[in-house]
Amino acid sequence: MSLLEIENLVVEFQTASGPFRAVDGVSLKVDEGEVLAIVGESGSGKSVSMLAAMGLLPWTAKVTADKLLFNGRDMQKMSDADRRKIIGREISMIFQEPVASLNPCFTVGYQIEEVLRVHTDLNRKARRDRAIELFQLVGIPNPEERLGHFPHQMSGGQCQRVMIATALACNPKLLIADEPTTALDVTIQKQILDLLMKLQAEHGMGLIMITHDMGVVAETADRVIVQYKGRKIEEADVLSLFQNPRSVYTKALLSALPENAVGGRLPTITENLTDQQIFEGAVR
Amino acid sequence: MLRFILGRLAVLIPTFLGVSLIAFSFIRLLPGDPVMLMSGERVMSPERHAELMNQLGLDRPMYIQYFDYLGGLVTGDFGSSIVTKRPVLDDFLQLFPATLELSLCAIIVAVCLGIPAGVLAAVKRGSWIDQTVMGAALIGYSMPIFWWGLLLIIFFSGYLGWTPVSGRISLMYFFPQVTGFMLIDSLLSGQAGAFKSAVTYLILPTIVLATIPLAVIARQTRSAMLEVLGEDYVRTARSKGLAPLRVVGIHALRNAMIPVITTIGLQVGVLLAGAILTETIFSWPGIGKWMVDSVFKRDYAVVQGGLMLIAGVIMLVNLIVDLLYGFINPRIRH
């Protein structure tokens, strides 16, 4: 049984000019201990499909799916209250902008202990001990002191570590990382990725890594899904994808990597491809 | 923190000077003078008029009168009423509790109804609830206060007979003023029915005075909440599996309160200005009515001193608001 199983997920937003389909028939599976990367350019529906799975989209979004199972439980048939018992505890998510993702009015300690208060029976002292332990786990120095700090007193990298610690607080089975390194500078990106991979291996969690960075994919993923304009274009294990891409879009995506540049000029993905060619060349 | 407070106090000095100049000059721009108005219908000879003006010191050059007044202010002397000869400060202190009681009731009503209404409208954006709240707020904001007061009096006091028309408490009750707040004094007096009477006298003036601040606070809360609800940290809060009430009431509202607190602070000025009209309509014996009466009598000292004291109260409230920011928004505190 897969940890997360999604079949034919469709997300539509009601806009002034009619419904807009952001995700169009995406299917995916993630197993325990597996790292799945979802790659695609901005607007390809990577984040929206994961937010939809967690039930975090605004009410203007209409989400339908043939199957939306977490650990064998149907997320679509669950009440909101039951879903809230799963998200934050069994499925957690970290986001792209770590500083903006933390509430500026509360200390980071409050924000991490809050998850424990909602999802566990730990008392105040135990929650604080667990928070300190989590801060140590993600490599935040002086955790006792740091718990009393506000997000604006920390760097972007530190805030992302806080987010990761918060996400790991209840030992989730699945962690969804939505471009966790995009807003950070290169050296910090490496540290955060290494940390995520280490924790994933130690805890045996399923990890869904949403990214548009093929370098991150190569370094982290077991399996890769390529998305374009809300549709799945290709799914493959990471080696096959890089060595033997089958869809025209994936080939174009890889040839646009700086290390693959020929003749001192980088091709853009869509300059030689129309949407029709991309969708016709899709390998599901 | 002390430096912050001292900095804010230093800014108050030029503001005080500006207010004193405006208070001094505007009342003198009105035609007529206190001596003429005191004489009323009786004919007064030009000699007698000049003599009285001389006695009151009003025949001196303007700048001397101004500096004389300013010198008094520095030593805490707000002058004495030309009409009643009583010190302005004494009258102010005696009448201010009535205004404060009315204003506090109004701001409590405005905050307690305005913030939840704004939050509800933002959460249910675009729904009939949102449209009803915002429609009502627009009407409330646009309504002339004296007209609204008269409508309520006609309906509730005249037609239904539920509430009294004017005053602070029924004439049946008499007890010494301890705090100056009728609600508290009536309770302290121990007289049966006194408190209930004080409440019924408060209801209509409170509604009238609260209407505009209520509308402004509701609208401001709604727009601040809409902005905050779209922030990343609200999404994070929801991704933790927190209940909607906790997400909206704690994570979003705390951030949305920062602009709302500013608005509430600014509404205190509107309240005191509104109190002048409301007190006149309901014959509420507070500083608003006192100021209006003094303007009609050209009681220069009372108008000047009253304005200075009202300005002082508004500045004090804004100072408190500035301090509250630091409490609510840690980015200012650190």
Give me the sign of the Cα torsion angle B114, B120, B123, B125: negative
Distant-in-sequence, close-in-space partners of A213: CB < 8 Å, separation ≥ 6: A39, A181, A182
Q: Which of A62-71, A76-85, B71-80, B248-257 has the lowest mean pLDDT?
A: B71-80
The answer to whether residue A20 sits within a structural domain is no
Kindly report, residue by residue over B42-52, the tens digit of the pLDDT. Answer: 777 888 888 88
**Most B-contacting residue of A59, A75, A101 (CB-CB within 10 A), to test interface:** A101
Q: How confident is the model at residue B334 (pLDDT cuts 50, 70, 90)?
A: low
Residue tagged 């002292």 (tokens): A125
Q: How far is A271 from chain B (nearest CA, A)?
A: 34
Q: How far is B252 from chain A (nearest CA, A)?
A: 9
Burial of residue B22 (number of CB atoms within 10 Å: 0-12, 13-18, 19+): middle
The answer to whether residue A11 sits within a structural domain is no
Q: Do residues A83 and A73 lie in contact, with contact meaning Cβ atoms separated by under 8 Å?
A: no
Kindly report, residue by residue over B127-144, the tens digit of the pLDDT. Answer: 899 999 999 999 999 988
DSSP one-letter string for B76-143? T---B-TTT--BHHHHHHHHHHHHHHHHHHHHHHHHHHHHHHHHHHHHTTTSHHHHHHHHHHHHHHHS
Q: How far is A261 from chain B (nearest CA, A)?
A: 36
Distant-in-sequence, close-in-space partners of B12: CB < 8 Å, separation ≥ 6: B315, B319
Kindly report, residue by residue over A200-213, the tens digit of the pLDDT. Answer: 998 889 999 999 88
With CB atoms and an 8 Å threshold, state whether A114 touches B242.
yes
Residues of chain B in contact with residue A83, where contact means CB-CB under 8 angstroms, are: 241
Distant-in-sequence, close-in-space partners of A155: CB < 8 Å, separation ≥ 6: A188
DSSP one-letter string for A131-177? HHHHHHHTT-SSHHHHTT--GGGS-HHHHHHHHHHHHHTT--SEEEE
Distant-in-sequence, close-in-space partners of B39: CB < 8 Å, separation ≥ 6: B49
Residues of chain B in contact with residue A56, where contact means CB-CB under 8 angstroms, are: 235, 238-239
- Give the Å distances, CA to CA, from B216 to B31, B99, B113, B129, B213: 36, 21, 11, 17, 5
Q: How confident is the model at residue A271 (pLDDT cuts 50, 70, 90)?
A: low
Start-to-end C-alpha separation, chain A: 21
Residues of chain A in contact with residue B261, where contact means CB-CB under 8 angstroms, are: none
Angle formed by the axes of helices B253-282 and B194-229, nearest 10°:
140
The reported pLDDT for the residue numbered A264 is 72
With CB atoms and an 8 Å threshold, state whether B233 touches A92.
no
**Most A-contacting residue of B130, B239, B328 (CB-CB within 10 A), to test interface:** B239
Q: How confident is the model at residue A270 (pLDDT cuts 50, 70, 90)?
A: low
Token pair of B178 as six digits? 């301890």
B139 touches chain A (CB under 8 A): no
With CB atoms and an 8 Å threshold, state whether B241 touches A97.
no
The reported pLDDT for the residue numbered A87 is 92
CA B26, CA B30: separation in Å to the nearest integer? 7
For the cut 70, the answer to whether the pLDDT of residue A172 exceeds it is yes
Average pLDDT over residues A39-63: 89
Q: How confident is the model at residue A267 (pLDDT cuts 50, 70, 90)?
A: confident
Nearest to B255 among A88, A95, A104 (CB): A104
Which of A:22-51 have CB within 8 Å of B? none
With CB atoms and an 8 Å threshold, state whether B236 touches A89.
no
For the cut 90, the answer to whether the pLDDT of residue A124 exceeds it is yes
With CB atoms and an 8 Å threshold, state whether A105 touches B254.
yes
Q: How far is A87 from chain B (nearest CA, A)?
A: 5
The answer to whether residue A24 sits within a structural domain is no
The answer to whether residue A66 sits within a structural domain is no
Q: Do residues A269 and A41 lie in contact, with contact meaning Cβ atoms separated by under 8 Å?
A: yes
Mean pLDDT computed over every residue of chain A: 89
Kindly state the percentage of chain B with pLDDT values over 70. Answer: 99
CA B178, CA A250: separation in Å to the nearest integer? 83
Q: Do residues B80 and B88 lie in contact, with contact meaning Cβ atoms separated by under 8 Å?
A: yes
Q: How far is A106 from chain B (nearest CA, A)?
A: 8
Q: Which domain does A145 fall in, by range?
A: 33-56+78-280
DSSP one-letter string for B254-297? HHHHHHHHHHHHHHHHHHHHHHHHHHHHHT--SHHHHHHHHHHT
A228 touches chain B (CB under 8 A): no
DSSP three-state, residue B305: helix
A119 touches chain B (CB under 8 A): yes
* DSSP annotation of A10: E
| Count of Cβ atoms closer than 10 Å to residue B40 Cβ | 7
Token pair of B199 as six digits? 């409440």
| Count of Cβ atoms closer than 10 Å to residue B164 Cβ | 18
Residues of chain A in contact with residue B247, where contact means CB-CB under 8 angstroms, are: none
Q: How far is A26 from chain B (nearest CA, A)?
A: 22
Regarding predicted confidence, which is higher, A119 or B164?
Answer: A119
Q: How far is B24 from chain A (nearest CA, A)?
A: 45
Q: Do residues B250 and A94 lie in contact, with contact meaning Cβ atoms separated by under 8 Å?
A: no
- Give the Å distances, CA to CA, from A94 to A49, A145, B2, B331: 15, 23, 40, 23
Are β-strands A67-70 and A73-74 bridged in parallel, bridged antiparallel, or unpaired? antiparallel
CA B277, CA B211: separation in Å to the nearest integer? 13
The answer to whether residue A12 sits within a structural domain is no
* DSSP annotation of A262: B
CATH code assigned at A214: 3.40.50.300
With CB atoms and an 8 Å threshold, state whether A104 touches B331.
yes
B157 touches chain A (CB under 8 A): no
Kindly report, residue by residue over A7-47, the tens digit of the pLDDT. Answer: 999 999 988 888 899 998 899 999 999 999 999 888 888 99
The answer to whether residue A15 sits within a structural domain is no
With CB atoms and an 8 Å threshold, state whether B241 touches A86.
yes
Total of domains in chain A: 1
Phi then psi for residue A200, to 5 deg, are -60, -45
Kindly report, residue by residue over A145-159, the tens digit of the pLDDT. Answer: 999 999 999 998 899
Nearest to A100 among B231, B329, B330 (CB): B231
Mean pLDDT computed over every residue of chain B: 86
Residues of chain A in contact with residue B334, where contact means CB-CB under 8 angstroms, are: 150, 152-153
Kindly report, residue by residue over B189-222, the tens digit of the pLDDT. Answer: 878 788 888 888 999 999 999 999 999 999 999 9
Whole-structure pTM over 0.90, yes or no? no
The ipTM, to two decimals, is: 0.89
Token pair of B175 as six digits? 């007890």
The answer to whether residue A19 sits within a structural domain is no
A101 touches chain B (CB under 8 A): yes
CA A125, CA A127: separation in Å to the nearest integer? 5
The reported pLDDT for the residue numbered B164 is 85
Which of B:226-285 have CB within 8 Å of A? 231-233, 235-243, 246, 251, 254-255
With CB atoms and an 8 Å threshold, state whether A56 touches B240.
no
Q: How far is B236 from chain A (nearest CA, A)?
A: 6
Q: Domains for chain B: give ranges and CATH numbers.
A: 2-74 (no CATH), 95-333 (1.10.3720.10)
Phi then psi for residue A133, to 5 deg, are -60, -45
For the cut 90, the answer to whether the pLDDT of residue A265 exceeds it is no
Token pair of A155 as six digits? 């760097």
With CB atoms and an 8 Å threshold, state whether A106 touches B254.
yes
The answer to whether residue A17 sits within a structural domain is no
